[in-house]
Amino acid sequence: MMITGVHHSSEKLDVNPCSQILRHALYQPEEVAVVYEDESTSYADLVAEIRAWAAHLDEAGVRQGDRVAFLGMNSKSFVLTMLASWWLGATFMPFNFRLSAPEVTQLLLQGTPHTIVVEGSHLDMARHIYGIDRHHVLVIDDDPHAAADGDIPIYWKRTSCALPDLDTTMVTRPRPMTMADLALLLFTSGTTGLPKGAQLTFGNLWWNAINVDTMVDSRPGDTTLATAPLFHVGALNSFAIRALVRGNRLLIHRHFDPARVLRDIDHYQVGSAFLVPAQLDAMYSHPDFANSELKTLRATICAGAPVPPVLIRRYLAKGVNVQQAWGLTETAPFATYLPPRMTEQKAGSCGIPMPYTEIKLVNPDTGEEVKNAGETGELWVRGPNVATGYWNNPEATEKAYTAGWFHSGDLGSKDEDGYYYIIDRLKDLIITGGENVYSAEVERVLAEIDGVRGSAVVGQPDPKWGEIVVAVIESESGHEFSLEEVRDHCGHHLARYKLPKRVIMVDQITRNSAGKVDKIAIRQIVRDSKEQEQ
């Protein structure tokens, strides 16, 4: 039987987050949308500010498809820049606020934004970005928490002068955006090479939201904490964007402070948060942890690096169920998720595929799918949440995608029940004496040593073994762990060929802005240490 009627194409569906935020401003205008540095902004006021920002960008010549860049820390201005860009149909392009001027120059050459929004706190660095004056520059000079660290060039616009009293009649409503329209241009962390601009569409964001809403216990009326850097997709698209689309409250911290996070979770009754393992560890190690209740924290997603089972157990003892997820910038961000009920039973697992995401393991040498439980392969991901490719980089896109499957670069396995485990980065594989050693496996064992605050394991070239395993360790109390201590502990859990042959003590494990161990810096420490010994 033929069914007739009106058919609506998903390609015509408006999935611009601003459309829902405008809806909340109409139906719940007084509800708090954003809390930034303990100052609240209602949905009605948020939309008024978005319109003012959009009117300025429109007047400056920003059009649909243009890129708008942001250089600064977590702030309400970050959110306003993103939403004003989307209001006009432009693409938001946030930068890592820890980058140097030459590094940002390289990203400008790649992304070619129309406008660059700069926080006052990053003004001095911005003035040293080569070619910045080829773009329209807007400086945030009215945020007291991001005071200008230098003089503002006279030909750069200021928010205090450019935004007030603008005519917003031309930007009353946001431009409808389809699944295929480009929402975000996010640059990968670059730990294995030059950054690449991952293209995330509004459809990618929408489908990730469907995945998260289906699996994670985040609720209407929740307060979401954004304390991890928002220029990373993990913090931005796990809960932050979704909080505003759902009409919830977004609590923004400019930077991570464990004492303040512990305080604000209780004070604002935070229900959901994206955190990386290093942040959870810092919170646990803080003296305030023992007296913090954390009883409202239901949806605590931890990603960015494998979560040591010992850390999960420490939070379970507090009544907080840390839920591990796995994904990348290119998967917007989540590809797998470990349900809370399985946290103890499947400790160390990154979970099962998200509902609308496919995962398979592929032998990186043969290209054949690995199907047996326990076997190692590279995780490939396919689904509507996966980025469409890399900006103006067809070579990288072709290398990373096969018939719609994205090659993650992560090695993993799955057990008999179909739960996945991340073993290591493909490029972090250590081959010693012809045997494969996965650094993450050794790091998990090192994390169980009492007094070890952090560790990183890398390979060091060796004439006899090809490579040897080197453990770089940060201790909690300044204790100098000997090689014998480390090997004795690891020997109870690992094969002998996996045991470290060198131990290097450091004051602090170097991490990048995503909270991941910076293996490039760690390898340099190992090289420098070897040269000093010679």
What lies within 8 Å, CB to CB, of 297 at 6+ separation is 265, 270, 271, 272, 273, 320
pLDDT score of 85: 98
User: What is the model's pLDDT at position 5?
Assistant: 47
Tell me which amino acid residue 249 is: R
Distance CA 107, CA 96 (A): 10
- Residue 55 and residue 48: Cα distance in Å, rounded? 11
Q: Which residues contact 365 (CB under 8 A, 6 or more apart)?
A: none
Distance CA 75, CA 470 (A): 39
Distance CA 178, CA 184 (A): 14
Domains, the chain, in order of start with CATH, read: 40-176 (3.40.50.980), 197-425 (3.40.50.12780), 433-533 (3.30.300.30)
Question: Are residues 256 and 513 in contact, defined by beta-carbon separation less than 8 angstroms?
Answer: no
What lies within 8 Å, CB to CB, of 68 at 6+ separation is 57, 62, 81, 84, 85, 90, 91, 92, 93, 113, 114, 115, 116, 117
Helix, strand, coil distribution of the chain in percent, nearest 5: 35, 25, 40
Tell me what pLDDT residue 322 has.
94
Residue 5: CB partners within 8 Å, gap ≥ 6? none
Cβ–Cβ under 8 Å, residues 420 and 370: no
Q: Is 434 exposed, middle or buried (0-12, 13-18, 19+ CB in 10 A)?
A: exposed
pLDDT for res 205: 98
Could you tell me which of 104, 34, 74 has the C-alpha nearest to residue 231?
Answer: 74
Ramachandran category for residue 72: left, alpha or beta (phi over 0 → left; psi -120 to 50 → alpha): left
**Are 82 and 69 contacting, i.e. CB atoms less than 8 angstroms apart?**
no
pLDDT on residue 462:
82
pLDDT at 98 (0 to 100): 81
Interhelix angle 76-88/17-27, rounded to 10 degrees, is 110
Q: Round to whole Å and give the CA distance between 451 and 60.
A: 55
pLDDT for the residue numbered 2: 42
How far apart (Å, rounded) are the C-alpha atoms in residues 90 and 175?
9
Q: Which residues contact 141 (CB under 8 A, 6 or more apart)?
A: 120, 148, 152, 158, 159, 160
pLDDT at 192: 44
pLDDT of residue 189: 54
What is the pLDDT, as a whole number, of residue 534?
Answer: 63
**What is the per-residue pLDDT across 424-474, written as a single tens digit (0 to 9) for each?**
777 777 878 767 787 888 898 899 999 999 999 999 988 777 789 999 999
For 365-385, give the DSSP string.
TT-PEE-STT--EEEEEESTT
Residues of the chain with pLDDT under 50: 1-7, 190-192
Could you give the CA distance from residue 270 to residue 2 in angstroms, rounded to a whole number? 50
